[in-house]
Amino acid sequence: MSGLSFQKLPLLLCLLALSGLTHGVKVVVKEGSDVMLPCSLSTKENMESKLFDWKKVAQKDAGEKEVFLYDAGSHYNNGRGGQSEQFKGRISHFQDELKHANASIIIRNTKISDSGNYTCYFPRLRPPQTFYIELIVAASPEPYIRTLKATADWALLQCEVRRSTPKPKLEWKDSAGNTLPAEERPTSERGGSYYITLITTVTETDNYSCVVTQEEVSHQTHAETFVLISGEVGEDSSSKVAFGWLFGGFVLGALTLAIVQALLTVTKILTIRCNKGSRQQGNGLGDQENGSCENCRELLRSQNGR
């Protein structure tokens, strides 16, 4: 019942009275918004000269707090003392509605710490009456997704929610809406807000969503990420390595064989040329051919030395 306007207040109170819920109402509001806590007598008795007192019930980490007290025109907003520091300057009432027994109040700029149980107490009525209102100030931040680790065959995804209240439920889902197996890290609670981390491992290319559900306030939000798995699922990585070494060895062997064949060819050509040069020298050719033959022999010796 967040975001209620003042114009709808009489209708709300009438419905609450008819349903018998005036002594146990739950009000939900988003953090930072203004909220009305309803309190009204079914007798429609004029409250301008009466007394009513709003208190926040003691919790495990805090005692009872004075929220707003009205006593025949004297109240916390016109000089009366005693209001708890948490609510100073943030509470107002409906002065013109007091004659219709409306003792509702407005809490402005709600905070997570405002969540809790409140009482609206009429001590001078016979018998005295107390109304109970539960206020839930909800914070619903969007989840944060990141990839912790990825290989060709799988990816490790993390979803994190910070400062969420009430406590949410986290789920990892694929594009078909199937819930994935996941591991939840230890939950941390600070000042009524929850910090939750959920991790899952995926092995297929798909769009994955982290869904955050707060059932208590009927709220749900999510974030998405696309994961590309480049390798085939289940393929043995050791076989990939063995194949890589085999292919590399084959290439290296082929290259070595080609070099050896090239050297043998060059050697053969030089040998033929040198033999030819020797025959020409024996036939009385000049020093030019003899020198050429000597160069060939030097080149052959250097090749053999290699």
Q: Are 216 and 136 in contact (CB under 8 A)?
A: yes
Whole-number pLDDT of residue 34: 97
Mean pLDDT of the chain: 80
Whole-number pLDDT of residue 62: 78
What's the whole-number mean pLDDT along residues 267-293? 52
Is residue 231 predicted with pLDDT exceeding 90?
Answer: no
Is residue 170 predicted with pLDDT exceeding 70?
Answer: yes
pTM: 0.64
191 band by pLDDT with thresholds 50, 70 and 90: confident
Looking at residue 230, its amino acid is S
**Tens digits of residue pLDDT in 48-80:** 999 999 999 998 777 899 999 999 999 999 989
How many other CB atoms sit within 10 Å of the CB of residue 83? 20
Task: Give the whole-angstrom CA distance, residue 90 versus residue 68.
Answer: 10
Is residue 94 predicted with pLDDT exceeding 70?
Answer: yes
Whole-number pLDDT of residue 150: 95
Task: Give the whole-angstrom CA distance, residue 77 versus residue 79.
Answer: 6
What's the whole-number mean pLDDT along residues 103-123? 96
Share of the chain above pLDDT 70, in %: 68
What's the whole-number mean pLDDT along residues 210-214? 96
Task: Give the whole-angstrom CA distance, residue 216 versus residue 27.
Answer: 11
Q: Which residue, 198, 195, 167, 194, is CA-closest to 183?
A: 198
Domains of the chain in start order, with CATH, are 6-138 (2.60.40.10), 144-227 (2.60.40.10), 237-305 (no CATH)
